Structure 1
Amino acid sequence: MTALPRQDVAGSGVPAPPVPRVRAPWSARPASVTEDLEQVHRWMQAPHVAEFWKQAWPMERWRAELERQAAGDHSLPVMLDFEGAPVAYLEVYRVVRDRLAGHYPERPYDLGVHVAIGELGRTGRGLGRALLREVAEGLLAADPRCTRVVAEPDARNAPSLRAFTAAGFRTVGPITLSDKSATLLVYPRSEEDLP
């Protein structure tokens, strides 16, 4: 779910979000317009993704979106593979540069993640739980200064909320964003890092 970057001093000096350092059989890499545009576009048209992402855009708009993200330091589009096959599109973002800033006591290096498992047949079988845990651990490994990975799925998305909590994310509470009522979830590096 794309958000415009927050323009303030809070994020200055904080690096762009990293690619998660995931372990085999997972692999992650920045999404590329030349390699991934058609796949991302197709996934975003899938009803189970479109319902909550609300980005079933034309291909050219997705091209512009991937290029915009790749050129900035707010969010990073990422492709996640499992056993060599693409399974998810991620957007990893810096909370201090995001609309989520101010909705909880964020820290400068907090990372947020949006996740779309593109193939409906890959959902509902525990893959999402494993994926979310691997991504959270991979982000903490990629940025030692990051102490929390957060997510804010739509509060109506019960399967997503179950997967996040089963993966070790902790429910902080409800938040209201401009386009949705969401549930704030945190995956802390340690218990002391919970908000």
Structure 2
Amino acid sequence: MLSFNGNSINHCLSCLFILKKMLADDHQRLYLVGINGEWVGYAEVCEVARDRLSGHYTADKNDLGWHLLLAEAQDVGKGYLRAIMRLLSFFIFEHSPAKKIVGEPDASVKPYEVVAQEFNYMPQYQIVMPEKLQCYIFVTKKGFIVSLPII
């Protein structure tokens, strides 16, 4: 079961209100993330030029960004981040005109930094947000493609 801050999302009215608001926001798309038949989190793909991140760099109208939340503590550390980040990046580049993907992971979550560099996401600088210190990272389509293994 998905949870938000330790509470079941099915029993948290404030969480449902937030979810309803997010679903109505046309600058982003929400995706449930499942692995091996289990829901492990969700991802947001957003138009960066219309996102709060646009106040921190000059975004191209086609730049897309992502936010990722792994839902349960037991899903952290299983290698899901690598698989999800690869799939999410591939999905964005294959199904949009984006030439750049922007991420803004929490600067205190070191696995993001390691995995992001594997896919040629380049760290830029840190941004202070009300809820976290985030690291602004990006990857170009060409940079991402060359990071993929040749099959």
**TM-score higher than 0.5 here?**
yes
Say whether residues 1:114 and 2:74 are aligned partners. Answer: no
Structure 2 unmatched runs, 5+: 144-151
Alpha-carbon distance between aligned partners in 2 of 1:87 and 1:179, rounded to the nearest angstrom: 22
Give the % identical residues: 25
Deviation at 1:73, TM superposition (A): 0.8
Structure 1 residue 183 and structure 2 residue 111: aligned? no
Match of 1:155 in 2: 107
1:26 alignment counterpart: none
Higher relative contact order (CA 8 A, sep 6+): 1
Q: Pick closer, same or farther for the CA change 1:120–1:180 going to 2, 3 Å.
A: closer
Q: Which runs of 5+ in 1 are unaligned?
A: 1-38, 51-55
- 2:46 aligns with one of 86, 93, 118: 93
Aligned length: 141
Match of 1:29 in 2: none
User: 1:169 aligned to 2:121?
Assistant: yes
Which amino acid in 2 is paired with 1:62? C
Which residue in 2 is equivalent to 1:76? 29
Matching of residue 102 in structure 1 with residue 55 in structure 2: yes
Whole-angstrom distance in 2 between the partners of 1:105 and 1:169: 18
> Within 2, Cα distance between the matches of 1:187 and 1:118?
25
Q: Which deviates further from its counterpart, 160-169 or 106-115?
A: 160-169
CA RMSD of aligned residues (A): 2.2
Q: Which amino acid aligns with 1:77?
A: L
> Is the alpha carbon distance of 1:88 and 1:165 closer, same or farther for their aligned partners in structure 2, counting shifts above 3 Å?
farther
**TM-score after normalising by structure 1:** 0.64
**Higher strand share goes to which structure?**
2
Q: TM-score, normalised by structure 2?
A: 0.80
